[in-house]
Amino acid sequence: MATTLSTGLALAGPRDDRASLQTMPPEIINLILEYLVPQPPEIGETRPVAYHQLMEEEPWFDFTRCRRGLRSMCLASRRLSQLAFPLLYRVVALWDEASVLLFLRTLTDKPEYGPWTRYLSCHLTLSELLVIRSFRDLLPRYLDTFRATLGGGVLATAALKFIHVLRAAIPSMVATEGDFDHVPQMLLSFILMLVAKVETILLQVPISDDQQEYEVLCTQLRCLNLLDLEALPLQHVHTLMLQGDPELLEQIENDECECDVPEVWGSQPRKYASLFASCPRLTTLEVSSDDGVWTSAYDEDRLFPGGPGDGGSGGGGDDDKGPAPPFLGNIKHIYLHNSVAYPGDLHHLLLNAPMLETLYMSPRDDADFREALEDNNPEIAHPEALDIALASHAKHLRNLDVSWQDISGFESLVGPDGRLTSLATMPTLEVLCVQMGLLYGQPAAVLEMPLVELLPPNLIELVLEDWWFSNVVLLSELPTWTSAQKVRYYQSSHSYRVNALRTLVRFARDVRSRLLKLKKVALVCKIPWTWVLEGAVDIEFHFEEVKRLFLEQGVEFSVRSDEV
């Protein structure tokens, strides 16, 4: 599309170009150019390869082509340039060390460009040794190209002074001795200060203890409050994404990592409490590949004194000053992608996010490093059970979507009998995606407890995942099953299907006795061959009666199966 628009507007011919641009209202042209603003990359994406090696189906393909189209618009005519140039800076993705330096140079030379940026992502782990060395090698080439701008403002002037200091100091800096380690963080902090109206920030953060956390970056941004500025940066940020280094993640999963892989690894959001505090309008936090620990850094220091954050890095004070305030205090929406958080970890997350309205978590497949609780009594909830946190600390929660492949040995960290019993008493919950195993504990219990009594009273949308933790042993086998094995599994599941359908039929008939606001119900079948017999029975066959009964109650019902 980018090529078509640029060709059509820029190469249509002198007469047609003059006629169309002179008579077309700028609002119309803006609407057209808006289609060229690239969609930001999703969290967890690795950096793109070379421009000409990108394939059409790759996530970065459209991004790079849209930017090329906008750049073509800027070169087509003066009027198009005036309209397209601000859009060229609206979504900025920094892929490598050179792009960081070039963008900072642009912002110090033309500070008026900074407020055009609404989305900024950095796809470098700034404390990684190779990244630090690359910055050190590139800086001498770029330092002399930075030019001072009269009237650039306090922040642009401060950035230029920092560059001048680097120019004098870099010959004596040695990366391996640590003198240069914090420079990449400082460079990015100045960029974040100069994009004054940025709304969404993606930071790639360390997931290995071999790399330092971004303490310098967080401190630098926190110190902005001490400056005498008319308008502080970061005041418009509503979404922050902390992306665990996806390239290192891939190396660890493929046993190709040259670092010492710890038992528990991943991004550590608790280390960024001061960054959260620097963004007063921050309401949404997305994290990929977190390490599952959601206690505050201050609480960790009290439990393990002398650690990296000892001395107040978590935002708290000394022990005699009491506990630190919740480090996620203003955040309303949290999305965890590829997480190793267990039910007890989410208990602490809810403690630290008292205003939370949305909690989403997709699990990481390799979370088998945890050892089952020695004192696990499935019949009694653990003091740090998720069920207890939902009942006591989720007063504003409206959307809940959490799941696990297996919680065997951790049932008490869910709730009594491994069930989320508190869901039925949560009046604010409106959208729920929940595994059957978290509702009933065991498949046999579906005949004992009506489903309608286990759900929040004001529910609007419900997704039920047909998943029981005892089925986890099948996951590795399913992709290799032959047709005969699939048939045998379908036949062996007859009694289960009968009971499950009986539960859903009863639910459909009773739904309006308690769930007056419910509009949509979906069933997701995690093992297709429970319900599908290839060439003979499709998944819809079993649910015609269920769908009809729901429609009679004004509820839309759908069913789908995960691909294996």
Q: Which of 295, 406, 279 is nearest to 344 (CA)?
A: 295
> Does the residue 487 lie in any domain?
no
Q: So what's the pLDDT on residue 305?
A: 53
Q: So what's the pLDDT on residue 330?
A: 94
Cα–Cα distance between 52 and 22 in angstroms, integer? 36
Residue 95 has phi, psi (to 5 degrees) of: -95, -30
Q: Do 202 and 124 belong together in one domain? A: yes
> Does the residue 135 lie in any domain?
yes
> Does the residue 480 lie in any domain?
no
Q: So what's the pLDDT on residue 262?
A: 63
Q: Do 51 and 185 belong together in one domain? A: no
> Does the residue 496 lie in any domain?
no
Cα–Cα distance between 285 and 269 in angstroms, integer? 9
> Does the residue 115 lie in any domain?
yes
Q: Do 76 and 95 belong together in one domain? A: no
Q: So what's the pLDDT on residue 6?
A: 47
- The H or E element containing residue 402 is strand 399-402
Q: Do 103 and 84 belong together in one domain? A: no
> Does the residue 230 lie in any domain?
yes
Full strand arrangement of the beta sheet holding 284-288: 91-94, 119-122, 200-205, 239-244, 284-288, 333-339, 358-363, 399-402, 431-435, 461-466, 520-525, 556-561
Q: Do 204 and 97 belong together in one domain? A: yes
Question: Residue 104 is part of which domain span?
Answer: 90-247+264-270
Q: So what's the pLDDT on residue 263?
A: 65
Q: Do 61 and 131 belong together in one domain? A: no
Residue 239 DSSP label = E
- Of the residues 88, 113, 130, which one is the last residue of a structural domain? 88
> Does the residue 43 lie in any domain?
yes
Q: So what's the pLDDT on residue 5?
A: 45
Q: Do 117 and 216 belong together in one domain? A: yes
Q: Do 83 and 105 belong together in one domain? A: no
Number of domains in the chain: 2
Q: Do 23 and 57 belong together in one domain? A: yes
Q: Do 131 and 66 belong together in one domain? A: no
- Of the residues 215, 235, 270, which one is the last residue of a structural domain? 270
Residue 553 has phi, psi (to 5 degrees) of: -95, 5
Helical packing angle, 97-109 and 154-169, nearest 10°: 130
Q: Do 174 and 222 belong together in one domain? A: yes
Residue count of the chain, please give it: 564
Q: Do 102 and 243 belong together in one domain? A: yes
Q: Which two tokens stand for residue 320?
A: 């005699």
Q: For the chain (length 564 residues), average pLDDT per consecutive 10?
A: 47 50 76 86 85 81 87 82 88 94 93 94 94 92 79 82 86 72 95 95 92 92 77 92 90 70 81 94 97 84 51 45 82 96 96 97 74 80 95 97 93 95 97 97 89 97 96 88 94 95 96 97 95 91 96 97 72
Q: So what's the pLDDT on residue 148?
A: 66
Q: So what's the pLDDT on residue 432?
A: 98
> Does the residue 516 lie in any domain?
no
- Of the residues 73, 88, 103, which one is the last residue of a structural domain? 88
